């Protein structure tokens, strides 16, 4: 019996050993198979990541080309905004992102006439002299890199909603830095959900009506101002229609006029005073044919006298204004851009407004201060000859109602006109030539004109860095 069992035991031992060896081999193979599958999946994920980035870049390029040559406003509206939208889904997945963008720009200008030296790199009609030879004889050749720009845009998702920050500079010195090639703050802006705070385009304006021009100052008479503000926006529909309300910093200006000659000490002490911020409402509706926007502003314009008892004389007046703008899509990519701006005490909102928010006026038995009236219009047509070639042609005009106590050399109306031909080699390089005309008329009827040609070359860059 024992002998008959022994072969069976031997067989069982051999079977058990073989089974253990087979199990050990199967586990090893399974480990190798999983490692191989993991490596293959990683390779697939990397290929998908590269493909996604290529698709986003192509989407940004196509949107860029459909919008035409990138001007200061157009690039912000297309290359920046479009890419942010294109990357929105990825941003949600990847979290906070940082995009660095901008351009290196060279303007080569020949001015057949002359303008004030501090603004010779751009055409500002109110800087055109009405006295021949005031800034030198006719003819001036100019090189400028002042339009070069650097922008930082960061965005991501938070428990309180989507957040976006925008920090941007160019090199065009203004104000106390006028005439210098130095950093000039354009935007310092943050949005959280529907709320916005910081400095950016005024809620009163419509930056999308900026035509495809390369002159830095751009058309006079259109509402154009970057302002510190608090804003709340309510979107509706799926095309970008919205309603917005904002409180904005009041940029006060006071033209003392002839008081500077009649009572210089009083004129020196008269100054604007900000007691309340500007209140601005905006409504915009988007359609297949284009869009229409209306914005209104209410201003409490105050003034006082420095170095006097109780700062008297002092008073305030009401300022108001409306800005009606729109774009009409005509044929294919062509667009007609229109704007009408009017009101009292809104000079600081108007591009090259030429006047002041406040001005003195003679009223028997004495003098008073009033909000100065302004009205301006913009009409430009953007035409695309092909995918690479485009042009813009149009003009703008602004009239200022002067008071009887303003100086005779105060600007009464300004006119700006331009046309161009630009070649878009790629989303990264643009070059073209632009012809510009400006005219200034003062209160005494004296006039000045300027005509110039401008060759612009621009290299555009944009790079997105993700914080993983």
- Lowest average pLDDT, out of 27-41, 210-224, 314-328, 351-365, goes to 27-41
Q: What is the rounded average pLDDT for all residues in the chain?
A: 84
Positive or negative, the CA dihedral 36, 40, 45, 49 is positive
| Maximum mean pLDDT: which of 80-94, 100-114, 299-313 | 100-114
Output the pLDDT for position 189.
Answer: 98
Rounded-to-integer distance, Cα 298 and Cα 211, Å: 27
Higher pLDDT, 169 or 4: 169
pLDDT at residue 75 tops 50: no
Q: Which residue has the higher pLDDT, 185 or 20?
A: 185
Q: What is the dihedral of CA 133, 117, 346, 168, to 10 degrees?
A: 160
| Reduced 3-state DSSP string for the chain | CHHHHHHHHHHHHHHHHHHHHHHHHHHHHHHHHHHHHHHHHHHHHHHHHHHHHHHHHHHHHHHHHHHCCCCHHHHHHHHHHHHHHHCHHHHHHHCCEEEEEEEEEEEEEEECCCCCHHHCCCCCHHHCCCCCCCCCCCCEEEEECCCCEEEEEEEEEECCEEEEEEEEEEEECCHHHCCCEEEEEEEEEEEECCEEEEEEECCCCCHHHCCCCCCCCCCCCCECCEEEEEEEEEECCCCCCEEEEEEECCCCCECCCCHHHHCHHHHHHEEEECCCCEEEEEEEEEECCEEEEEEEEEEEEEEEECCCHHHCCCEEEEEEEEEEEEEEECCCCCEEEEEEEEEECCHHHECCCCCCCEEEEEECCEEEEEECEEEEEEEEEEEECCCCEEEEEEEEEEEEECCCCCCCCCEEEEEEEEEEEEEEEECCEEEEEEEEEEEEEECCCCEEEEEEEEEEEEEEEEEEEECC
**CA-to-CA separations, 437 to 52, 328, 423, in angstroms, rounded:** 46, 25, 22
What is the average per-residue pLDDT within 372-381? 96
Quick one: tokens of 129?
A: 């002299």
Q: If you search the block for the tokens 């006060």, which residue do you land on? A: 252
What would the mean pLDDT of 116-143 be, rounded to a whole number? Answer: 95
Distance CA 73, CA 343 (A): 25
User: What does the pLDDT average to over 35-46?
Assistant: 70
| pLDDT tier, 364 (very low <50, low <70, confident <90, very high otherwise) | low
Per cent of the chain over pLDDT 90 is 59
| Greater pLDDT, 194 or 158 | 194
Question: Would the pLDDT of 357 be above 90?
Answer: no
Q: Is the peptide bond before 313 cis (omega within 30 degrees of 0)?
A: yes
Q: What is the pLDDT of residue 300?
A: 94
| Beta pairing, strands 278-287 & 315-329 | unpaired
Q: Specify the pLDDT at position 133.
A: 93
269 pLDDT band, cuts 50/70/90, is confident
Q: How far apart are CA 48 and CA 143, in angstroms?
A: 46
Per-residue pLDDT, 19? 45
Has residue 8 got a pLDDT over 50? no
How much is the pLDDT for 78? 46
Rounded mean pLDDT of 154-164? 88
User: Where does the pLDDT of residue 367 fall: very low under 50, low under 70, confident under 90, or very high at 90 and above?
Assistant: low
Decide if pLDDT at 84 tops 60: no
Kindly state the percentage of the chain with pLDDT values over 70: 78
Predicted confidence at residue 2, as pLDDT, reads 47
With 50 as the cut, is the pLDDT of residue 74 above it? no
Q: Domains in the chain, please, with CATH?
A: 100-466 (2.40.160.10)
Q: How far apart are CA 74 and CA 207, in angstroms?
A: 9
- Report the predicted TM-score, pTM, of the whole model to 2 decimal places: 0.78
What does the alpha-carbon distance between residue 161 and residue 156 come to, in Å, rounded to a whole number?
A: 9
Q: pLDDT tens digit string along 433-468? A: 999 999 999 999 999 999 999 999 999 999 988 654
Does residue 151 register a pLDDT over 80?
Answer: yes
Question: What confidence category does residue 50 fall into, taking pLDDT thresholds of 50, 70 and 90?
Answer: low
């Amino acid at each position: 019996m024992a002998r008959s069992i022994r072969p069976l035991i031997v067989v069982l031992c051999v079977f058990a050993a073989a089974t253990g060896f087979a199990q050990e081999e199967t586990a090893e193979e399974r480990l190798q198979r999983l490692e191989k599958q993991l490596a293959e999946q990683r390779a697939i994920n990397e290929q998908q990541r590269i493909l996604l980035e290529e698709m986003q870049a192509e989407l940004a390029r196509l949107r860029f080309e459909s919008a035409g040559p990138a001007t200061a406003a157009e690039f912000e509206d297309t290359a920046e905004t479009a890419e942010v939208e294109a990357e929105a889904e990825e941003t949600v997945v990847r979290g906070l992102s940082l995009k660095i963008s901008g351009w290196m720009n060279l303007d080569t200008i020949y001015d057949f006439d002359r303008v004030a030296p501090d603004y010779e790199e751009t055409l500002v009609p109110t800087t055109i002299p009405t006295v021949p030879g005031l800034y030198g004889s006719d003819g001036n050749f100019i090189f400028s890199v002042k339009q070069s720009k650097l922008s930082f845009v960061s965005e991501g998702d938070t428990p309180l909603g989507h957040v976006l920050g925008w920090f941007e500079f160019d090199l065009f010195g203004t104000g106390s830095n006028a005439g210098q090639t130095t950093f000039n703050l354009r935007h310092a802006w943050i949005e959280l959900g529907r709320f916005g705070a910081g400095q950016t385009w005024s809620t009163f304006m419509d930056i999308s009506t900026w035509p495809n021009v390369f002159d830095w100052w751009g058309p006079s008479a259109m509402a154009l101002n970057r302002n510190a503000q608090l804003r709340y926006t309510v979107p509706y529909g799926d095309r970008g229609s919205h309603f917005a309300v904002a409180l904005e910093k009041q940029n006060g200006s006071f033209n003392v006029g002839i008081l500077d000659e009649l009572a210089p000490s009083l004129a020196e002490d008269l100054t604007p005073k900000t007691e309340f911020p500007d209140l601005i409402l905006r409504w915009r509706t988007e359609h297949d044919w284009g869009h229409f926007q209306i914005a209104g502003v209410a201003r409490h314009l105050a003034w006082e006298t420095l170095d006097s008892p109780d700062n008297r004389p002092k008073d305030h007046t009401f300022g108001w204004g409306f800005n009606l703008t729109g774009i009409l899509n005509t044929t294919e990519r062509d667009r007609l851009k229109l704007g009408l701006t009017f009101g009292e005490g809104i000079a600081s909102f108007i591009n090259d407004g030429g006047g002041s928010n406040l001005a003195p006026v003679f009223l028997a038995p004495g003098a008073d201060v009033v909000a100065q009236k302004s009205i301006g219009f913009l009409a430009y047509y953007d035409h695309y000859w092909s995918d690479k070639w485009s042009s813009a042609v149009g003009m703008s005009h602004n009239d200022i109602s002067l008071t009887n106590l303003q100086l005779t050399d105060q600007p009464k109306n300004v006119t700006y006109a331009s046309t161009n031909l630009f070649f878009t080699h790629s989303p990264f390089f643009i070059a073209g030539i632009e012809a510009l005309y400006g005219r200034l008329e003062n209160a005494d009827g004296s006039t000045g004109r300027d005509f110039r040609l401008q060759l612009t070359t621009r290299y555009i860059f944009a790079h997105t860095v993700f914080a993983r």
